[in-house]
Amino acid sequence: MDGGAETPKKERKTSWKKDPETVRADILGVATDEFAAHGLAGANINEIARRTSTSKRMIYYYFGDKEGLYCAVLEGVYASLRNAEDLLDFAGLDPVEALRQLVEATFEAHVTSPHFIRLVMIENIHNAAYLRKSEIVPKLNRSIIEKLTDVCERGKAMGLFRSGVDPLELHWLISSFSFYNVSNRATFSTSFGETLYTPAHQALLKARATDMVLAAAVIGHEPASWNTAGA
Amino acid sequence: MDGGAETPKKERKTSWKKDPETVRADILGVATDEFAAHGLAGANINEIARRTSTSKRMIYYYFGDKEGLYCAVLEGVYASLRNAEDLLDFAGLDPVEALRQLVEATFEAHVTSPHFIRLVMIENIHNAAYLRKSEIVPKLNRSIIEKLTDVCERGKAMGLFRSGVDPLELHWLISSFSFYNVSNRATFSTSFGETLYTPAHQALLKARATDMVLAAAVIGHEPASWNTAGA
DNA sequence: CCAGTTATTAACCCAGAGGTTAATTTGTCA
DNA sequence: TGACAAATTAACCTCTGGGTTAATAACTGG
């Protein structure tokens, strides 16, 4: 019907591939950075779009709205942490050594998962409103508790662990310093200086915390690492 | 120049008191709630204004802009926590008992300061950017370290404490579970249930954590609270 | 009681960010 | 090969929320 003299104002990109998976993953990666950096309210959809190789419309196409994107990000970081935890295997180790390794591994996993830490902080600011809606997250956390339960049972059966030792309490305790160490680094350093965050001092804190957990859980364990001054 | 027939569209409030201090305090109180609840980006100035007994313009009059208000809120909660800490006095107690009371008091202080906890979390999300600008906050934190230093020195001098015990490390440790216990309650409960947050179990956690710190710091201290199962 | 300053009110502005519309291209399967 | 669905693009819409303008009432000092 057109007379042939039609001039489109701007040429659309005339060629592109259909590649939903890649586009989705691209958006999710950028969004994870953005939400971890600025929180739910602070994150900017236009900015996320700009940093992807796709357009803003695709974010809404795949994730619905800002909250949908945030939820996807949240599930993503929880899932990737599970993968790391599942690599641990203490089945063959004696309980004391297993507990030692579990504490050290947890401490280190937190240090190397800053996005996870920040998103959990952000989620706590929102009273876990979005985590509650997740169907997969509760499952993810079961794994670590199962490992701890196994270690505790074996430790008690062998007469090595105190009888009051409880897996969930132990997890609370181990998480607390592992998490806090990363989550509150900024305010802690601002108030008290950077001394605890040198590599040497971090190693020392890890050793002391581990030793302390063992002293609490294991009958007769002497927390020897507390006997000598650090760096 | 007007012909005298001028009709103001709406009558202004024709009577009010000048009361800068009260107005400022009113704004600060409401703003503390709002920032603690929603973070810096999530907080809404119009909403803060609505909940005060004054107008939005006054917020800008007294605090300049949103960040200025946020900084004032931050300094406010730090200051009020210092007041609580300054009430503690361990000078007369023996070092072991002093340390026990300090741990318990810290644990409890965190539980009863939810606004402080949330604002510190929020500040960590911002990498302590606003705390760094504060001139009063570094001073506030000195007090707790001084108390711990005194206890540690006396404990070592009396041959009760391990020689490696360090005040700053101890503070890191005590803060970690005290802070985490409150800050991560939402996600922890979502993942593992509310069991740890009954009053009875909170008391147990406090006792176990305290006992564990003592076992780490004090030569020969047996962490007896870990020998029996909780609620 | 008047001039100048401080505190307060009401109304307004506008950039920016979340979200949408509509058209177009790519791929698929009968 | 052509209808249909899925994926993608560009342009647009709307309203919220941080910040401002301008006028005026309440004090204060001389």
Residues of chain A above pLDDT 70, percent: 94
Partnered with residue A161 across adjacent β-strands are A218
More confident residue, A210 or B1: A210
Name the helix (H) or strand (E) containing A117: helix A114-125
Q: Where is pLDDT greater, at B18 or A101?
A: A101
Mean pLDDT (chain B) is 92
- A50 CA, D10 C1': Å apart: 14
Q: What is the pLDDT of residue A13?
A: 62
Contact yes or no for B149/B78 (Cβ under 8 A):
no
Largest CA distance in chain B: 94
Q: Could you count the other beta carbons within 10 Å of the beta carbon of residue B141?
A: 19
- pLDDT for B7 equals 32
Q: For residue A151, is it left (φ>0), alpha (ψ between -120 and 50) or beta?
A: alpha
pLDDT in tens, A181-222: 999 999 999 999 999 999 999 999 999 999 999 999 999 999
- Tell me the per-residue pLDDT of B134-156, one tens digit each, with 9 for 90 and over: 988 878 888 899 999 999 999 99
Separation between Cα atoms, residue A7 and residue A10, nearest integer Å:
9
Taking CB atoms and an 8 Å limit, are A145 and B175 in contact across chains?
no
Note the helical H segments in chain B. 20-42, 45-51, 56-63, 66-86, 95-111, 114-125, 137-157, 167-183, 185-192, 199-217
Nearest CA in chain B to A161: B227
Longest dimension (CA), chain A: 94
Smallest Cβ distance to A131: which of B128, B131, B190?
Answer: B190
Q: What is the pLDDT of residue A119?
A: 98
Angle at CA of residue B142, ends B140 and B143, nearest 5°: 80
3-state secondary structure (DSSP) of residue A221: coil
B227 CB-near residues (< 8 Å, 6+ apart): A162, A163, A164
Per-residue model confidence (pLDDT) at position B109: 95
Contact flag A208-B223 (C-beta cutoff 8 Å): no
Q: Tell me which of A92 and B14 has the higher pLDDT.
A: A92
Q: List CB contacts (< 8 A) between B181 and chain A.
A: 172, 176
Bases of chain C within 7 A of a CB of the protein: 6-11, 16-22, 24-27
Judged by CB atoms closer than 8 Å, whether chains meet at A181 and B175 is answered as no
Instruction: Work out the end-to-end distance of chain B between its first and last CA atoms, rounded to an integer number of angstroms.
Output: 83
B16 shares contact with chain A (CB less than 8 Å): no
Question: A128: Cβ–Cβ under 8 A, 6 or more apart, which residues?
Answer: B186, B187, B189, B190
| Chain A nearest-CA residue for B182 | A124
Compute mean pLDDT per 10 residues along chain A, 231 residues long, and list them. 35 76 97 98 98 97 98 95 86 95 96 97 98 88 92 98 98 98 97 97 98 98 95 66
Contact positions of strand D to protein Cβ (< 7 A): 6-11, 17-22, 24-27
Residue (of A137, A123, A30, A33) closest to A80 by Cα position: A137
